[in-house]
Amino acid sequence: MAAQQVFVANRGEIALRVIEACDRLGVPTVLGVSQADQDTLAARRASRTVVLGPARASQSYLSLDTVVHAAVETGCTAVHPGYGFLSERADFARLCAQNGLTFVGPKPEHLETLGDKLSARRVAESAGVPVSPGGPTATRAEGLAVAQRIGYPVLVKAAFGGGGRGMKRVDDASEFEAAWELASSEAAASFGDGTVFVERFVRNAKHVEVQILGDTHGHRIHLGERECSVQYRYQKMIEEAPCTALTPQARERLHAHALRIADEIGYVSLGTVEFLYDVERDALCFLEVNPRVQVEHPVTEAVTGIDLVREQLLVAFGEPLSVRQEDVHLDGHAVELRLTAQDPSQSLRPSPGRLVRWRPPALGGVRWDTHLYEGYLFPPYYDALMAKVIAYGADRDAALARLRKALARLDLQGPTTNLPLLRALLNAPEVVHNTASTRWLEDALPALMAGDMP
């Protein structure tokens, strides 16, 4: 492998995770930070740190020219975008290439194809992978016609972006016009494009996803599946691997579907193919592809023993995959929780502030991915994620038991967090028995916080 130096174009726990992977490869790092992030654990761990601009992401982490200029001026050979920010921007990947920098991620044309959910649906259809009934809607009238054809309830969804923005559920025709307008306006404001489409809403759905990995030598593999059904307003809160709700036949189909999509476009790098699983019908339908490292990647690492960020970096450096499909074996079970600076009594409203006390317990089988330290001022400008706690066990019950112990022993003082909600979730029957659907938490949140759940 030729000498490399990686510019880390992100912040928080994922920046620290990338730096740690580079350290293990012996690759020096330069971290680009905003003025608000100069004194973070990632800044302390990087070989060098440069300030990109003011606290606002639009003037620092999202400034394409600034990031590329900083990477070039510091002598870097590659840029790792982490997740969020610039990680799925085809124009950023192209700008990196134009300036002699390796973008640690998929090809720009793949980012374009997969970043548009409608074109991603076409890729899935071309690969013979089932998609949910629906289609594009250039006007409200077209959208209404699609909804009437496929039947309510439906989802009106932004064609670009994610995170639940530009996504609205519609239960009958009387709600459609307002939902279509709101979804389109949210999509335009968040992603710069108001294009939306309509698809059938699955009532009792599980959110399942397959981790894929491809190199520049034509090798593509899957690393099993994850389940991320416990969500609030389409934001994942619990992730686990593997998915115990799948039948063996559905699991086999799921993995095959993901690889067919990867093969269809010759996918290179780390990525995740997401599906809805209709438990009642034992049916899968394609949702989207996330062409980057995912927040929940540690649960896959826990059950496979494979360092996904290391593999992602090596692929970007032109190396072949260090594992083949026959080398991938899932052992045990892992569950991840997202600890956030959000107030669950106020519909998870952000709650930034200074961290007075942070003492995560050291327990066997428990991993903490975090950039926190005592005295850290959690800023109001970015995502509310504070830490990820990942527990591994011989089976699902063992992993959940370790999580309960970890959260019970966590000594945390400072911003209001979702810790009480996480503790309640781990004892909710729907989580214990894995019967929760993607909509369950939105309905159950008030009762969970009031302590009224059985």
DSSP letters for 186-215: HHHHHHS---EEEEEPPTTEEEEEEEEEE-
Tens of pLDDT, residue by residue over 292-330, are: 999 999 999 999 999 999 999 999 999 999 999 999 999
β-strand partners of 79: 7, 103
Domains of the chain: 6-104 (3.40.50.20), 133-200 (3.30.1490.20), 205-450 (3.30.470.20)
Per-residue pLDDT of the chain (454 residues; tens, 9 = 90+): 789 999 999 999 999 999 999 999 999 999 999 999 998 999 999 999 999 999 999 999 999 999 999 999 999 999 999 999 999 999 999 999 999 999 999 999 999 999 988 899 999 999 999 998 888 888 889 999 999 999 999 999 988 876 677 889 999 999 999 998 999 898 888 778 888 889 988 888 999 999 999 999 999 999 999 999 999 988 899 999 999 999 999 999 999 999 999 999 999 999 999 999 999 889 999 999 999 999 999 999 999 999 999 999 999 999 999 999 999 999 999 999 999 999 998 889 999 999 999 999 999 999 999 999 999 999 999 999 999 999 999 999 999 999 999 999 999 999 999 999 999 999 999 999 999 999 899 899 988 888 754 4
Output the pTM of the full model: 0.93
What residues act catalytically?
292
The SS3 of residue 345 is helix
Residue identified by tokens 């591994």 is 392
Report the pLDDT value the prediction gives residue 452, as an integer from 0 to 100: 54
Structure tokens given for 244? 């115990």
Amino acid, single-letter form, for residue 244 = T
Beta strands in 351-431 (DSSP E): 353-354, 357-359, 366-370, 377-378, 385-393, 411-413
